[in-house]
Amino acid sequence: MKSLVSVMALAAASLSVPAYAQSAAPAAAPATPQDWIKQTEKAYFDETVRAGRVSWIYETNITDDTEALVAASNAQSNTFSVNVAKQAAEYAKASGLSAEDKRKLVMMRTQITSPVPTTPGGAEEFATLQARIQGLYGKGQGTLKGQPMGGSDIEAEMGTNRNPDELKEMWTSWHDNVGKPMKADYVRMVELSNAGAQELGFADTGALWRSNYDMDPDAFAALTEKIWTEVKPLYQQLHCYTRSKLNAKYGDAVQAKTGPIRADLLGNMWAQEWGNIYDVVAPAGAGDVGFDTGELLVAKGYDPVKMVKAGEGFYTSLGLATLPESFWKRSQITKPRDREVICHASAWDLDNKDDLRIKMCTKVNGDDFVTIHHELGHNYYQRAYNGQPSRYYMEGANDGFHEAIGDTMALSITPQYLVQIGLLDPAKVPSADKDTGLLLRQAMDKVAFLPFGLLIDRWRWGVFSGKIKPADYESSWNEMRKQYQGIVPPVERSADGFDPGAKYHIPAVVPYTRYFLARVLQFQFFEAACKQAGWKGPLHRCSFYGNKKVGEKLNAMMAMGASKPWPDALQAFTGSREMSGGAMIRYFAPLTKWLATQNKGADCGW
């Protein structure tokens, strides 16, 4: 206990607020916009390092003290970002600015997730509220058979439990216990955030978020809708087939033959990915693909650290460098037994150089094996662009790129890859007649996620704009889930509930459209990588593990960071400047044909 107190005291002592972050302008005004940009870049670099260290302390040790510490830190960061954004708007009016200067000034205005008003106490109030509701989420519990159970344990249990009454209990208790208590605080956070966004010249926080994509905010919203229209028919076929299988298993009293699907039956707390119920939907004859990744990991004696080592091995096989020794010393790979932590997986770069880490509560199963490949994608992206001259360029080309890199690697967790790393016996590689099962298993995660990835921010955009009032938060959430996903809660929800808060990214104020974009981009990246590797077989069986050519080209794109508009980065790796659902449609084309046959004559609406 004494050592923990010492660490906290040391952290607090080192986190004094620099004068630059407290004022609306540096004490001595720079002579030129270029001087101001240079000074601000240095200050931003230092601020992200300071804030990152505080956030790490909080997320790996949730206490009243660390909550207070991170609240103060977030207030400082938010104030800093808002002050910089306001000054950037003024400097942007200057004449003689280069294209580079203009790009940086735009990024200084738009790279703000939580704008706060400059009125006295506004930043502090927002940060306190955010820390409190993140704490509610991190410490939140539901129940199973009346016994308390933490969020990560419920999430794992819902992946394997097939008792509809127990699934209903876990789903309901988590949403009631975690979401509902934070509603009032969230309403106030929206008010504060919108006030901050309006001070920066945006209509609301949603408009600010959409402005960060190198295009008009309305045009960006239209682009995401266009992509959804491309892939929606595939989702509808998957939904129709899955519903019929759930009806066959549970009967009409639990899941009807028509209409929406009950949310708790899909193997995931939020019904965002359905792969955990593959055993329920597996096609006769082709459903058993001959292996389960989780079982292979257990049989080969993998522990969480060995799983992370395997993930690192994928990246090094492409010619990328090993992770630094500090990664293995400082990462949280498993859940500590002696304290509360935020288990939601995340990747960190705490010094904008090479202090790379992941934070997970890893379990030895197939899901976490995929998650590890995903999170390490963030770390390798972070390291690739750390040579950029500006901290504002040390980001993904857009936030969807950052999410898509690791997912691209995870798509390469194919039977071929599992053979290459010694997990799967070559004699047990599924034959071609198992392709329907392989594709269906993949679609249950990748395709099923699409509408969920879209609706989170669609809902928040409505909240920020005022079209969705606080009294309607719960009803609008459920209406939107039904509209996009064809999903409904297992029980009636009260009007004063707040089910959105039971999803981490809502209390954490993390924009979510990035995940929708990532689902699309990863198939574009994967298709391009397989072509570069000279793969000749079915796309869904491709593995580019060990291909240095792919690694070289991938690293070149990642090294660009955000220094160029995202179409430039996309073109550098794929040859195309357009985000599209086309590669995903081509990947799943054989499955689409099969699903249409299975659903023939069925009412596939909801």
What does the alpha-carbon distance between residue 204 and residue 199 come to, in Å, rounded to a whole number?
A: 10
Nearest to 537 by CA among 587, 497, 572: 587
What CA–CA distances, in Å, run from 457 to 453, 468, 540? 8, 12, 30
Question: Among 75, 131, 310, 345, which one carries the catalytic annotation?
Answer: 345
345 tagged catalytic: yes
Give 402's contacts (C-beta < 8 A, 6+ positions apart).
Answer: 377, 378, 381, 395, 396, 514, 518
Residue 434 DSSP label: G
Helix axes 33-59, 2-13, angle to 10 degrees: 170
Nearest to 144 by CA among 135, 131, 153, 136: 153
Residue 412 DSSP label: T
What does the alpha-carbon distance between residue 481 and residue 477 come to, in Å, rounded to a whole number?
A: 6
Buried residues in 251-283 as b, exposed as e (16+ CB within 10 A) = eeebbeeeebbbbbbbbbbbbbbbbbbbebbbb
373 tagged catalytic: no
Count H helices, E strands: the chain? 25, 6
Q: Name the amino acid, one letter, at 331.
A: S
What does the alpha-carbon distance between residue 393 and residue 159 come to, in Å, rounded to a whole number?
A: 39
* Strand (E) or helix (H) holding 164: helix 164-174
What CA–CA distances, in Å, run from 322 to 328, 360, 369, 427, 569? 11, 19, 18, 31, 24
Query: DSSP letters along 213-280, please?
Result: SSS-HHHHHHHHHHHHHHHHHHHHHHHHHHHHHHHHHH-TTTS-SSSPEEGGGSSSTTSS--GGGHHH
| CA torsion through residues 109, 110, 114, 117, sign | positive
Question: Among 373, 374, 402, 540, which one carries the catalytic annotation?
Answer: 374
Nearest to 345 by CA among 481, 460, 454, 508: 508
540 tagged catalytic: no
Question: Among 175, 239, 373, 378, which one carries the catalytic annotation?
Answer: 378
Q: How many residues are there in the chain?
A: 606
Half-sphere exposure of 421 (CA within 13 A, CB side): 27
378 tagged catalytic: yes
Question: Among 184, 340, 505, 602, which one carries the catalytic annotation?
Answer: 505
505 tagged catalytic: yes
Question: Among 312, 375, 395, 474, which one carries the catalytic annotation?
Answer: 375
* Strand (E) or helix (H) holding 346: strand 346-349
374 tagged catalytic: yes
Question: Among 175, 239, 344, 402, which one carries the catalytic annotation?
Answer: 344
Question: Among 155, 403, 474, 527, which one carries the catalytic annotation?
Answer: 403
Q: Which two tokens stand for residue 519?
A: 């689902």
Place of tokens 């540096």: 26
Q: Name the amino acid, one letter, at 166.
A: E
What does the alpha-carbon distance between residue 419 and residue 433 come to, in Å, rounded to a whole number?
A: 19
Q: Name the amino acid, one letter, at 395.
A: E
Q: Give the three-state DSSP class for 148.
A: strand
Query: DSSP letters along 57-74, please?
Result: HHHTS--HHHHHHHHHHH
Pairing of strands 141-144, 147-150: antiparallel
Q: Give the three-state DSSP class for 95.
A: coil
The set of catalytic residues is: 344-345, 374-375, 378, 403, 505, 515
